[in-house]
Amino acid sequence: MIIKSYKQLEEFIKLFVNRKIDLLILYSEGGLGKTYGLNEYKDDNIINVNIHTTPLQIFLDAKKNKDASFVFDDLDSTFSNPIFISFVKSLANNEKIKIIQYNSSDPRIKESGSQFETKSNCAILCNKMTFNNPNVQAMISRGFLVEFRPTIDEIYKRGRIIILKDETLSKRQKNEVLGFIRKYMEFAETFNLRVFVKTAQLIKSTPRWEEYMLNDLKISEEKIRKQQEIDKVMNSQLKKSEKIKALSRLNGTSIRTEQRKWKVR
C-alpha cells in the first residue's frame, strides 16, 4: 500500500512498536524520516540491526535479546540472502510464539543452541524493494508492505517542524532557512528532510550558504529566473486572487493547486 502523510507513517510505526503487527516493511526514497520517525518511539525493547551484521550474528542477538522488537535498517542488499529472508519469515510468523532456528557448524551455535522461542516482531526499513524473488514475496505476504511517498508540501511541513525545534538557530535564521527552502523546493532535483538539516548547518557557518545550497540542490539558472518571476508576483500589489492566477500561469498548475500551496506559505 502507498501512504502519503507523516501522520500515516506514525500510525504504522506505532502499530509496530505496540506489537500489533508481526512484520512491517517500510520503504521510500532516502532522507524522508523513516528511521528518525521510528527512533522517536525507540526504547530498550527495540533492537536496531547494523547494515554489516551477518545472519548468524542476527540470530545470536535475537536469542540474547529474547522477545525484543527488531529493526533492520538500510539492509537493501540482504534481500538476496536466503538465510536472512528465512530468519525474517520466522520472526514474522503470525503465531504468538515463534520458533527461530539456525543450522550451522559455527562453535557459537553449538555453544548456545541452534533454536529458541520468541515473541519478537520485526520491521524492515529500506530505500528500495526487490519483488522478483519468490522468497521475498513469501516474506512480504506475512506482513505489511508500505511505500512512503509524501508530497512535496508534506515534506516541507515536517521539515519546518525540525527547523523550528532547532535551538541552535536564531529566529531570523529559522525564517531565512524556511523562506529559502519554500522558494526553491519545487525546483530541486532531490527534495527531502536532509535539505533542511544541511541548510541549517550552512546558515550557521558561512554567508555564502544560499549559493552553496543552490548548487547542492542542482537548481538551474532557468529555474532561478523562474523563481525571480514568482517573487515579482508575490511582492506586487496584486490582490491575493490575482496573484494565485498569475502563479498558476507561471507554474502551469491549476488554480486549486496554487490555493493549496498558498495555505502553507
Single-letter code of the amino acid located at 85: I
Q: Which domains does the chain have, with CATH numbers?
A: 2-148 (3.40.50.300), 152-263 (no CATH)
d(CA 245, CA 74): 43
Give the model's pLDDT for residue 76.
56
Give the model's pLDDT for residue 144.
92
**Whether 92 contacts 142, CB under 8 Å:** yes
pLDDT digits (tens, 9 = 90+) for 176-199: 999 999 988 988 888 999 999 999
61 closest CA partner among 23, 7, 22, 118: 118
Which residues face 118 on adjacent strands? 98
Q: Cβ–Cβ contacts within 10 Å for residue 34, how many?
A: 24
pLDDT digits (tens, 9 = 90+) for 7-44: 999 999 999 998 899 899 999 998 999 988 888 877 77
Cell of 32: 524522508
Q: What global pTM score does this model have?
A: 0.75
Cell of 265: 506559505
pLDDT beneath 70: ranges in the chain: 50-51, 75-80, 264-265
Give the model's pLDDT for residue 264.
63
Q: Cβ–Cβ contacts within 10 Å for residue 172, how many?
A: 9
Q: Say whether 66 sits in a helix, a strand or coil.
A: coil
Cα atoms found within 13 Å of the Cα of residue 136, Cβ hemisphere only: 15
Which residues face 176 on adjacent strands? none
d(CA 13, CA 3): 12
Region of 15 please: left (phi>0), alpha (psi -120 to 50) or beta: alpha
Helix 152-165 / helix 171-184 crossing angle, nearest 10 deg: 170
